[in-house]
Structure 1
Amino acid sequence: MGNGKEGRLLVLYGSQTFTAQEIAERIWRKTKVLGFRGPVQAMDDYPISRLIHEEFALFVCATTGQGDEPDNMRRFWKFLLRKNLPNNSLMKLKFGVVGLGDSTYSKFNFVGKKLHKRLLQLGATPLLNIALCDYQHDLGHDAVLMPWLGNFFSTLKSYFPNIQTDTMNNSFVPRWKVSLVKTDSCDNQKNVSEDVYYGKGCRDHFLDSTYLELEKNDRTTDESHFQDVRHIIFKTVDGNPLQYSPGDIFNIRPRNSKEDVDDLFGIFETHNIDIKPYHLLSVEEYHDDMPVPDFLKQPLTLYEVAEQYWDLKAYPTQYFFSLLALISEDKLERDKCIELSSPEGQEDWLNYCRRPRRTVLEVLHDFHKSASKLTIEVLFELLSTIKPRSFSIAGSCLKSEGRRIELLIVVVKYYSKLKKARLGLASNWLKNLNVGDRVYGWIKRGTMKFPQDASIPLILIGPGTGLAPFRNLLQERSIQGTASSDTLHLFFGCRYKNKDFHCRQELEGMVDSGELTLYCAFSRDQENKIYVQHKIAENKDVLWNLLNRGGYIFISGNAKNMPDNVRDAFIEDVISEAGGISLEDAKKMLEDMERNNRLQVETW
């Protein structure tokens, strides 16, 4: 069927937070090395009527919410579901599907699985079975993605005999033609604190961003408490009301700290690399199948790009080291990069990067000889883009008449084996915003869907900042006059009653007015630790009665252990012990509830 030089491989992605897009562009680079051509596009940007003419395609798609497709895949998916499509519509197509998911959710990689099945129904032929990537794996998505891609391209070899799959990573192929307009003036550095992603008119085609002003940024935890939790309120600037419901999400794109940006330019200065903050960026199309994104077509300084485009807090992937090896001229460092990027070097990569949370900047300091070969073109391949962060809206739209957004955010700061504190990019940026600062953000439909019928009992489990979506719901029900302690049951957990009991006065006030039944687990206020699952076990008879009345269960909070512990408590204590049902049947009952959306989970 020819060779790689004549091959077309279409790469389409459905992305919620741009991860799928980033992975699709990585795959494009691999295909380019092999000599393929073919565009990389969001599924909704691709003229789907052309799909019947494609011979080879690779789909990368994320799963969102309760098994929903991403926004920029919806039109594509809706078209594929049309009943009038013949079952041989895609008989010419040979394909692969990469699913990006999170195994803490019951509908793990649901979208990828649905897409794979539908393509089969329309007559397409899979080159491989679907890749089910799991964000929770120690190696992240790459644990499944990297070996799967190797097999995918090996399979393609039967159609394109000239493919040399063992030389895939031996060439550096930039996505765009990137250069600098170098001036002697520092005037271009003015106004760098303004939002350039949205402020200069750039829009992601599936996002409707809103201009907001910070009204409140208060610490809610006691000063002696180890954790800084922020109650943040944004207000609309134009006065136009926003529309959102309990469970909905506020998305925002954070920026790097001045310290990290200065560190990056310090690396350039140390190695006499002529890249200055005030140099202007020029990005042009290199390949007709890799268009320049709108944002990079804007007139930008390098400081703006470093502050608002590159993620300087990211930890480098194995892919990062494979690229660094291509530019390194130091044998020792190059060999180490090759080792850290190899399947055999995964454990070393975990110990060096993932477990201590070493950032890209720290790696560039460690691999200083390789860093001395950095160019602006290389930087655009090495550094990933800042991805939007999602936060549950913690206040009712009715309370502010849609003119405010409330958030409840943990400021991420912890220590690994490295001496310097690990700081979360978004939370620390938000912490340091001042009243009056203006930012762009956008609202998205949340994963949780609360029943409209206020007579249905709701069991809400929200330890820590998992309280956020439930506070939104409780406020709304209170304003509507439908809040009742008979139907609203909230399990809240924290360490200390007097240090990190978020919104205590408000919640206790609802209890006093008969609007809420509240169960609190303060884990460190006594010798034996008490968590929300223990409170669930203590109140198993009450909860079994609520479930028999058609009650729903909602779980919100940290994904590490809490969701599984809560599930176990419902299976073993509530359904089996209080309900007198066998453990096997109790587990099946909870699974059925989750399948029917009577159990919903939102974790991070």
Structure 2
Amino acid sequence: MTTDLAAALAVLFASQTGNAEWIAKHIHEEALARGYNSTCHALDDHAKANLTGDNAIIIVASTTGDGDPPDNATKFWRWLRRAKAPELEGLKGKKYAILGLGDTNYSNFCNTAKRLEKKMTDVGAVPFTPRGFADDATGLEAVVDPWIETLWKALPQVACYDEEKAKAFEERAEKDGKFCLKIGAEKESVAGGADADAKKENGETAHSIDIVPKSTDGKDSAPVSSVNEVSQTTNSGDSGDKSSVANAFLAPLNAEEHDLLDAVLFTPVPIVVSKTALDSATQLTNVAKIPTEFLDVDLADQGRPIEKSVMLPCHMLDTQSMESPFDYTAANPFKAKIASVRCLTGPKALKRVLEIELNITGLGWEYAPGDAFGIVCPNPDGLVLPLLKRLSLEPTQLLRVTAKGAAALQGLPFETKTPITVYEAFKYYLDLHSLPKKSFLRVLAEHTSDPTAKKTLYFLASAQGAGAYRDLRPQQPTLLDILHTFPNCQPPLARLLETLPHLQPRYYSVATSRLVKEHSVTFAFNTVEYRTPAPYNKPMAGLCSTWLDVLTGKNSAQNVRVQLSDKELYVPIFPKPTSEITTPFQLPEDPSAPVIMIAAGTGITPFMSFLAHRHHLCSSGTSSSSFGAMWLFHGRRFASADGDALYESDLDTYVKVGSLSRLLVCLSREDVTPDQIRYKYVQDGIRALGAEVWDLVHERGAYVYVCGSIAMAKEVNQALADIIVQNEGAKDGVEALTLLADLGKKGKYLKDIWT
């Protein structure tokens, strides 16, 4: 090897939901297995990675919101923006590769990765492989998997590696990277790679398994659900006695566990796999690699009773006060006590909306209107306990988890003050709801004794099974659903801890001003309930919203505030850091600038903090003439008070006293006549008042804020473009969209949107 090769790899990630972190860590683990000297860190821990040292850099970066960097990249951006030339000199000529994760439903696709790429170019770093931009709207794996394969091909010319380890890895990869289905009258077998070809020459069958199911009772094993079985297999989610399913399939829960179950016991629903492509396949190619093993897991003889493990207990957290509120994170949150709850909607509403007030005394967070915070929510006991039964794991046993091999230098997948129990690991740390990655399905295949199930799992993890794998997304299976589908699958605990993604926090905007109540914060949210698309029709519930609803007593009395300060109810939270590369979703620094707020449903939440802040200032003696106009377009379904008129009395007050200059309510489910001057959607209201809206923006320098779903934001964006053209602010739609993009770059057109 030549001496100009880098001595090591530094794998860095910027991750909001865990996808980028998972990909980066598995690149790192495979790099170690291939013989590279590798480290892996979040971008905020860039100092540990020694970016200016003798290493090549691999970055996996996601984008959150409408172009914002993830929270664990904010400190890195701050350093990068403020670093002096000598500090960045070590990046000149540095070899790097970058993979961006994004969603083309948003206008600033892969914005974090693009900004990083530009900055690396500006400081003189050199890419050693083409960038990759993966789209979550169509499936990340379509770009991620080929990009990683290209990465491995390029790295030998970039960094030093152990040739013996590399050779051993390639031999293993060649052996299990390709599976050939040999179809016979009596049986089928799966054979793998070059080893199989060599052994066939000697009359042997390599890496072969029987595919025809064998059973001790003379019956065939139950097959995985197929497409024509949908009506029989996917509606079990809300029919019948749910406890009977647990008793029959998952084994009885003991009395202690039954008492701990929250709102619902999850009934496993088999996944539906279309095997048309499998039936016609002669071989499976590009089967996902088996992830590297890097953990040793032992179960201690002693345990901890489950009742001491509920509600994110103190023994799992470092409860000392932090110097800064931003030192609290998802891994080490602040325990906020629930002060009160009220239901904001009436019986006519299609969704219940709750508002919760938290006491944050001791946090020291001087939040601004529009700021947000994360909530660390647990998995429900109704899923965790049956799942542990299915895996034959004792919930109360303490875990001893240690990293092995080269990965030992990188620490554990989760760290706590004291050892945690099996129950705590599954309740607080592991994501049991997200779409399984192909590599995880490969792991399941390796630990499945039934040949038919094994072949189906190999298929889902292969190129030939790409369509069937995509069809899993609308089914939204839990880990329990998948294991129920493959009853002979029994993955080891260590493999689950290594390959399952981590449970991610949920973010909420503040709905009030700290000027109103200094040590308190309120937020509002829908209690999420829905069904997966037809033909699956599986009932679903939001993870965090359901937990908060159950925790606060499932209140439904409209606008009745229920005081909960006398109860010991806590929510683990942490402030969401503001980005240094994008304008925060906050009021303009110039209070005289007009503000146009556009929202649908609970998207009104941050605007209530805007209005509460402005109203308090006006009530405290500041002349309302000192402030710019504030307009609010709010979309909801119903006009009547017993529907979804969120914060109606507050808004009426703000209008009466002049804190809110203009309120336009748009009603999507009401038949209204033109003389009522009401509109169906917020974009209709924007178009109707187009001349006035454009005057506020163009002549008076208004700031425009949009909060709601991505679908609503797209319609609003088009409506704004239309009124710009109609009022001769642009010659055509293309120029108008460019103008809006420029306003966004200037921080005068801000969006807080979600899919």
With structure 2 as the length reference, what TM-score do the two structures score? 0.72
Query: 1 CA distance for matches of 2:301 and 2:536?
Result: 37
Residues 109-124 of structure 1: pairs in structure 2 closer than 5 A: 109-124=110-125
Q: Secondary structure at the match of 2:521?
A: strand
1:483 and 1:515 in contact (8 A); partners too? yes
1:555 and 1:601 in contact (8 A); partners too? yes
Task: Determine the structure 2 residue equivalent to 1:441.
Answer: 573
Task: Determine the structure 2 residue equivalent to 1:317.
Answer: 437
Greater shift, 489-498 or 89-98, is seen at 89-98
Query: 2 CA distance for matches of 1:454 and 1:47?
Result: 39
Q: CA deviation at 1:483?
A: 5.6
Q: CA deviation at 1:315?
A: 2.8
Q: CA deviation at 1:536?
A: 0.6
Task: Determine the structure 2 residue equivalent to 1:304.
Answer: 424
Q: Secondary structure at the match of 1:288?
A: helix
Greater shift, 69-78 or 51-60, is seen at 69-78
Residues 36-51 of structure 1: pairs in structure 2 closer than 5 A: 36-47=36-47, 50-51=50-51
Greater shift, 229-238 or 481-490, is seen at 481-490
1:358 aligns with 2:490: no
Greater shift, 353-362 or 98-107, is seen at 98-107
Question: Equivalent of 2:530, from 380, 405, 414?
Answer: 414
Residues 120-269 of structure 1: pairs in structure 2 closer than 5 A: 120-135=121-136, 137-139=137-139, 141-157=140-156, 164=170, 170-183=289-302, 188-196=305-313, 199-201=316-318, 207=329, 209-236=333-360, 238=362, 242-268=365-391
Question: Equivalent of 1:535, from 677, 685, 688?
Answer: 685
Greater shift, 33-42 or 192-201, is seen at 192-201
Compared with structure 1, are the counterparts of its residues 575 and 85 closer, same or farther at alpha carbon in structure 2 (3 Å cutoff)? same
1:511 aligns with 2:655: yes
Q: CA deviation at 1:556?
A: 0.3
Task: Determine the structure 2 residue equivalent to 1:556.
Answer: 707
Query: 1 CA distance for matches of 2:311 and 2:328?
Result: 22
1:172 and 1:326 in contact (8 A); partners too? no
Question: Equivalent of 1:451, from 585, 588, 596?
Answer: 588
Deviations 1:215-242 (A, max 9, x none): 222222222432121111111355x653
Write the letter of the residue equivalent to 1:556: C
Residues 320-335 of structure 1: pairs in structure 2 closer than 5 A: 320-335=440-455
Compared with structure 1, are the counterparts of its residues 569 and 171 closer, same or farther at alpha carbon in structure 2 (3 Å cutoff)? closer
Task: Determine the structure 2 residue equivalent to 1:521.
Answer: 666
Write the letter of the residue equivalent to 1:539: L
1:89 aligns with 2:90: yes
Query: 2 CA distance for matches of 1:9 and 1:596?
Result: 37
1:178 and 1:281 in contact (8 A); partners too? yes
2:529 and 2:542 in contact (8 A); partners too? yes
Question: Equivalent of 1:569, from 709, 712, 719?
Answer: 719
Q: CA RMSD in A?
A: 3.0
Deviations 1:325-375 (A, max 9, x none): 233343322222222223442221121x211222222111112212xx221
Compared with structure 1, are the counterparts of its residues 283 and 367 closer, same or farther at alpha carbon in structure 2 (3 Å cutoff)? same
Structure 2's unaligned 5+ residue stretches are 178-287, 553-563, 579-583, 674-678
Q: Secondary structure at the match of 1:563?
A: helix
Task: Determine the structure 1 residue equivalent to 2:266.
Answer: none
Structure 1's unaligned 5+ residue stretches are none
Deviations 1:253-298 (A, max 9, x none): 1011111112212212xxxx3x201111111121333312562562
Write the letter of the residue equivalent to 1:29: E
Q: Secondary structure at the match of 1:243?
A: coil
Q: CA deviation at 1:11?
A: 1.0
Query: 2 CA distance for matches of 1:267 and 1:365?
Result: 8
Greater shift, 254-263 or 72-81, is seen at 72-81
2:74 and 2:577 in contact (8 A); partners too? no
1:182 and 1:279 in contact (8 A); partners too? yes
1:496 and 1:524 in contact (8 A); partners too? yes
1:247 and 1:448 in contact (8 A); partners too? yes
1:32 and 1:173 in contact (8 A); partners too? no
Write the letter of the residue equivalent to 1:98: L
1:89 and 1:123 in contact (8 A); partners too? no
Task: Determine the structure 2 residue equivalent to 1:337.
Answer: 457
Write the letter of the residue equivalent to 2:717: R
Compared with structure 1, are the counterparts of its residues 95 and 31 closer, same or farther at alpha carbon in structure 2 (3 Å cutoff)? same
Write the letter of the residue equivalent to 1:225: A
Residues 45-64 of structure 1: pairs in structure 2 closer than 5 A: 45-47=45-47, 50-64=50-64
2:448 and 2:454 in contact (8 A); partners too? yes
Q: How many residues align?
A: 586
Query: 2 CA distance for matches of 1:515 and 1:77?
Result: 36
1:211 and 1:237 in contact (8 A); partners too? no
1:219 and 1:230 in contact (8 A); partners too? yes
With structure 1 as the length reference, what TM-score do the two structures score? 0.89
Deviations 1:548-601 (A, max 9, x none): 211111100111x111110111111x2111346322432222121112111111
Query: 1 CA distance for matches of 2:314 and 2:138?
Result: 32
Query: 2 CA distance for matches of 1:582 and 1:333?
Result: 60
Q: Name the % identity.
A: 27
